[in-house]
Structure 1
Amino acid sequence: MRFRFVLFFLWIATVTMSIATLQVRFVGDLSYVPFEILESDGQAKGYFVDFWRLAGKKAGFSVTYELCQWKDALAGFEQGDFDVVGGIFYSEQRSKRYLFSKPFLEIPTSVFYRPHIDSIVSLRDLQKYRVGVVEQDYSQEYLERNAGKANLVLYPTTEALVLAAIEGEISVFLCDEPVALYWLKAYSKAQDFKISPPFYKNFVYAVVRPDQKELLDLLNRGIDLITEEEQSNLESTWFGVPKTHTIPWALILVLSLIAFGVLISVFIWNSVLRRRIEAAIRTIKEQNERLSRQNLALTENEQQFEGVNQQLLATTEDLEKTLLQVEGLNYTMFELIELSKLLSEAAQGKDQTFFEKLLNTTLTVIPSADYGSVSLFEGEDWRFVYAIGHDLANLKTLRLKKSQFTLEGKISVVEDIISDNRPKMNATELEKLAQFTKPIAHSIVIGLFIGESLVGGISIDISAYSDKRFTQRDTEVAQALSNLASGFLAMQRYTIAQGKFQKDLLMGMIKILEIYDPHTKGHSENVASLSARFAEELGISSDLIQRIYWAGLVHDIGKILVSRELLGKMGPLTSSEYQIIQNHPVWGAEVLQSSDELSDIVLYIRHHHERWDGNGYPNRLERESIPFVSRIISLADSYDAMISDRPYRKKKTVECALKDILNNAGKQFDPSLAKAFCAMIEGKSAKRSVI
């Protein structure tokens, strides 16, 4: 009996201990050094590993950590082999599949490139090169979404990516800055690459599957329990310089020569300065001797002499202050010149990059400022587009009106801007604005104008915990920066108007074609709309969708060069007539190829009658050698033609048209795209990618 009691007691104790300590299986990237490192004995270590072990110790769960290639890590996690991905960036696409923890670290991501390349500062610069990224890393998703023309080369690990760049397989790659620098320094090649300013900075999160909400709460509790001192200790432990394989003698020699040059320059400057000081001392001595003689001769004017002496000292102090102001203005002018270089380039794309640079530059050249924000007005609505120091994500959720924006004239200095907004906002709006911004004592508010129209504003803020104040110079610099921003907005609106003019011109050409061939009236707009709708269904970027729409709009423009009699012929075509018809994609491409803005569209138009089996025209391309956009337009063109009346036949029903498309999948059409297109027409499809 006693023996049974002891066994029962041990069983109860074992179950209790297993319940008390939850074991969580983490997975990560084996080459994401120094955040995740795979030792030769198979053990994991690194910043993420130590961070989660510390969080588990505090929150009451134990951690096992396995590392593998990033693609395999995500696949294993999604299949249930692991509970948590220990470090990952947030994206909208990932948020649909995973639950994200609280952020616990911020990492910058930059472009690394060879010295023979002039500079890379924007996504547009990447379109000339083959750009390396880690497969299924956030950088791949970022470039596919924002740089549709970039030629991406995928690698399984960061080490493989860096080695490919070192060996000359690629000249440009996008990578998280600490990890890339680690591997470049590990192979003694850091000096062989330039680094761009960060393209973006992302917070690091852990993720769990959607059915693991309780586990997510446990991870967040662990994050909250780690103190700032403990996190600082982890960072100092892991964010050091890695050991290099060889001593970089060339770098040491260059640095030594630079240091020697600096020493020589300092020596020469000291000699010049010493001579100037000695000359100044002699001059001062001479002045003192002269003043002494005057003092002896004019003792009755001693009080007047003292006043003159004080005035000389005050003038010297004023000159020193003026010199400092001149140096500050020189630096400010340099920053303004650098910012103005972005104007023409930024006007061709989104405004986010320009406003980030604008606000960062403003806070640099106005050192008394601590925070700032940029706002734009859309009609009567006021929205925040960028902020430093304040909570931008929540500020973007505010629904404010242009009339609530604080501005008197074109620029104004405001004390306690939150209180100043009190008469213009209701209690809820004021509470949220105060909650989403840091405490502010003083602000410079500058309007952004196009002509006389107020289109936005910039607010430069001093913290409520600072005793600094804005100067007249700060106000003048802020006004200069706002002029740059207003110029940017004006250029951007001109670019948009120019794009509308080009679209109107193309629409005019389509109307000419419809007058020339009445049987195709509305066909071009139908193909354009169908192609754009299908591209959106496939998850293609918005910029490329716009190009697809334009290509669909002008896909048959070459038919203007085919005779009206041939286009409207009621009976079957002869062999020679069919050859003439087959020339219209080539003629359409030649009509449009003179425009640089339509260079990509020329390629899509030329090949929209190619077939998947290689029996199309004009170049008999087959399978993936046919441009992807041409395959989309081919489906939309064929479908609209089948359901429309033609001189030589009556239109088909939608059901018959879809059946014909499926019957020709793998012959005339890309089989994957054909199935997706038919599913979209039938209203059965969900967002998918077949690229």
Structure 2
Amino acid sequence: SLASKLENIFVFLSKTSFKEDYEEFFSKLLMLTFSLIEGGEYGTILLRTKDELKYVASFGYDVSLLNELNIDLETEEKLVEKGKVKIIESIEAVGLDESQKELAKKLGLDRVKYTITASFFIEDEYYGGIFIDSTKDQNPFTTQDIEVMEAISNLGSLFLRTKKLFEDLENKLKIDSIITEISKNLDFEMRVKNYFKEVFRLLNRTFEYLNSMKVSVEIENRFIHVFACDDSVNVVHSKSSEYTFEEEKEINNFEKIYYEFGKDKIEFALKEGSEQNSDIINQLSVSILPVLKSFFIYKNRAKLFADIMIAFARTIDSKDPYTRTHSENVTKYAYFFARHLGLDKRNLKILVLAAILHDIGKIGVKESILLKNGPLTADEREIINIHPEKGYEIISVIEGLEASAKILRHHHERWDGKGYPDKLKGEEIPYLSRILSIVDAFDAMTTERPYRKALTVDEAMKEIEKNAGIQFDPELAKRFIELKDSIKDALNISIEDILMEILNIGEV
């Protein structure tokens, strides 16, 4: 009876797991339908994959041959109606072309006289259908069969909707997870190539069917193009929004997923046979492009930050023609000495930024005092001596410079406690301040002033040795003297290169 058949469908539904893959579920659904439609001899289920149709289950036919029919989605959509069961008389009604008719004959479809079919829909979009065939001369399908097929149509559509809902949720969780991992574990201070190498590695670990990724972003009317794959990362700066990498020629035939937002663009190439994953890659593209854009915005701001640091230093030094390169020299010596000491990346950055800004507190000191040709009065000396505190006040409120502000505050402290501003003694003085104290004094001694000639490197090193344990940290003084024969090489290093290194704003 119809009631018992509908009960069988309900029992089938209650045992359905939406974790099953499509082919497994629809193979079972086809066999259930055969058990309920008595006039059926052969059967197939056709499903939509993107904009194509594919047979995923059959009874009595060769599935691989069926898929060679290449059933046209647009043609199929014209034959179906949502929620309606149809009985088709002869294969001629399907509208096959001549080559398809030949293949249909090979499959035995030419013997089919009647087909009862029901469609699967998600919302109003056609997603496939079930076809039960009969070779009998008289129509074997009854009104009861039509009602059963309507229930089968609803069941198949329910599975597709629910499965898609689960997949969308799972995809969203995957994407959220990978975006979180990239944001949490990858430092914006990484070099561009290293950053994108890690991004692609993390993406490919989750989405193993990715062949490559290409990103183009606009930063201040220029474009940065990045191509990343398993083997390499290439970066190009250009005035044009379009750029073709040599590696792209090898993937011309791969399916590509594009996403554009304004003038920014991301493209993923998928490995062969992974077209069914295009939906999640579309979602991934939308989510990850803003993250990658933020990386380049940070890099651009870091470059701007470096330019501002250099401008600050040159503004301070320009007040005195005798010390016009003092801040840059001190920075170069600090960098060179820090490398000799094996300073780690974090402390190197703090020291370099402190060095280039160490005299910023002098910005408010009158030129008549700074340029005085002769000894300073007690009042003038007091004004000069507050420049580390003034520098600290200026710099400590700038995000990212708090640690450097502390270092420049104490670069005039002395090992014996007779320095300023806080009269710190020995190891009370921050380690990086002790380094800065030595290189600052060395540049001052080896620079010509109106009231004295510059000391030679040997003479300056002897002064540092003489004042070790008095003005300078004795161990650091000893290590600095080791550089006697090479210290002047520091001045050959570009200040821009130093800042690009410590801020990680180089192109690669």
TM bin, normalised by shorter chain, reads: 0.5 to 0.7
The residue aligned with 1:438 is: none
Deviations 1:280-332 (A, max 9, x none): xxxxxxxx9xxxxxxxxxx9995454245334314312321321221121121
The residue aligned with 2:160 is: 321
- The match for 1:336 among 171, 175, 189 is 175
- In structure 1, how many angstroms separate the alpha carbons of the residues matched to 2:139 and 2:444? 111
Structure 2: which amino acid aligns with 1:318?
Answer: S
Say if 1:558 and 1:588, in contact at 8 Å, map to a contact too.
Answer: yes
| Distance of aligned partners of 1:370 and 1:505 in 2 relative to their CA distance in 1, 3 Å threshold | closer
| Distance of aligned partners of 1:344 and 1:554 in 2 relative to their CA distance in 1, 3 Å threshold | same
The residue aligned with 1:225 is: none
Say if 2:336 and 2:487, in contact at 8 Å, map to a contact too.
Answer: no
**Cα offset for 1:398?**
11
Say if 1:562 and 1:581, in contact at 8 Å, map to a contact too.
Answer: yes
Say if 2:214 and 2:228, in contact at 8 Å, map to a contact too.
Answer: yes
Say if 1:339 and 1:357, in contact at 8 Å, map to a contact too.
Answer: no
| Distance of aligned partners of 1:620 and 1:372 in 2 relative to their CA distance in 1, 3 Å threshold | farther
2:403 pairs with 1:625? no
- In structure 1, how many angstroms separate the alpha carbons of the residues matched to 2:227 and 2:160? 41
**Cα offset for 1:512?**
2.8
The residue aligned with 1:611 is: 414
The residue aligned with 2:248 is: 405
- The match for 2:472 among 639, 646, 669 is 669
What SS does structure 2 have at the residue aligned with 1:619? coil
2:284 pairs with 1:481? yes
- In structure 1, how many angstroms separate the alpha carbons of the residues matched to 2:346 and 2:245? 29
TM score, norm. by length of structure 1: 0.43
- Consecutive unaligned residues of structure 1, counting only runs of 5 or more, are 1-272, 278-287, 289-298, 388-394, 415-443, 463-468, 686-691
**Cα offset for 1:637?**
0.8
The residue aligned with 1:434 is: none
What SS does structure 2 have at the residue aligned with 1:646? coil
TM score, norm. by length of structure 2: 0.57
Structure 2: which amino acid aligns with 1:403?
Answer: E
Q: Which has the higher contact order (CA 8 A, sep 6+)?
A: 2
- In structure 1, how many angstroms separate the alpha carbons of the residues matched to 2:189 and 2:170? 28
| Distance of aligned partners of 1:676 and 1:447 in 2 relative to their CA distance in 1, 3 Å threshold | farther
- In structure 2, how many angstroms separate the alpha carbons of the residues matched to 1:631 and 1:593? 19
Root-mean-square deviation (Å): 4.1
The residue aligned with 2:73 is: none
The residue aligned with 1:348 is: 188
The residue aligned with 2:323 is: 520
Say if 1:380 and 1:402, in contact at 8 Å, map to a contact too.
Answer: no
Q: Percent identity?
A: 27
The structure having more radius of gyration, on CA atoms, is 2
- In structure 1, how many angstroms separate the alpha carbons of the residues matched to 2:324 and 2:435? 21
**Cα offset for 1:558?**
0.9
Deviations 1:4-40 (A, max 9, x none): xxxxxxxxxxxxxxxxxxxxxxxxxxxxxxxxxxxxx
| Distance of aligned partners of 1:375 and 1:533 in 2 relative to their CA distance in 1, 3 Å threshold | farther
Say if 2:447 and 2:455, in contact at 8 Å, map to a contact too.
Answer: yes
**Cα offset for 1:541?**
3.0
- In structure 2, how many angstroms separate the alpha carbons of the residues matched to 1:397 and 1:680? 38
**Cα offset for 1:645?**
1.2
The residue aligned with 2:274 is: 470
- In structure 2, how many angstroms separate the alpha carbons of the residues matched to 1:447 and 1:530? 49
Structure 2: which amino acid aligns with 1:680?
Answer: L
| Distance of aligned partners of 1:478 and 1:637 in 2 relative to their CA distance in 1, 3 Å threshold | same
- In structure 1, how many angstroms separate the alpha carbons of the residues matched to 2:451 and 2:484? 25
Say if 1:631 and 1:670, in contact at 8 Å, map to a contact too.
Answer: yes
Say if 2:410 and 2:433, in contact at 8 Å, map to a contact too.
Answer: yes
The residue aligned with 2:304 is: 501
**Cα offset for 1:523?**
0.6
**Cα offset for 1:659?**
1.5
Say if 2:197 and 2:228, in contact at 8 Å, map to a contact too.
Answer: no
- In structure 2, how many angstroms separate the alpha carbons of the residues matched to 1:615 and 1:662? 18
- In structure 2, how many angstroms separate the alpha carbons of the residues matched to 1:447 and 1:669? 61
Say if 2:226 and 2:234, in contact at 8 Å, map to a contact too.
Answer: no
- The match for 2:452 among 626, 629, 649 is 649
1:590-605 alignment, distance < 5 Å: 590-605=393-408
| Distance of aligned partners of 1:357 and 1:453 in 2 relative to their CA distance in 1, 3 Å threshold | closer
Structure 1: which amino acid aligns with 2:361?
Answer: G
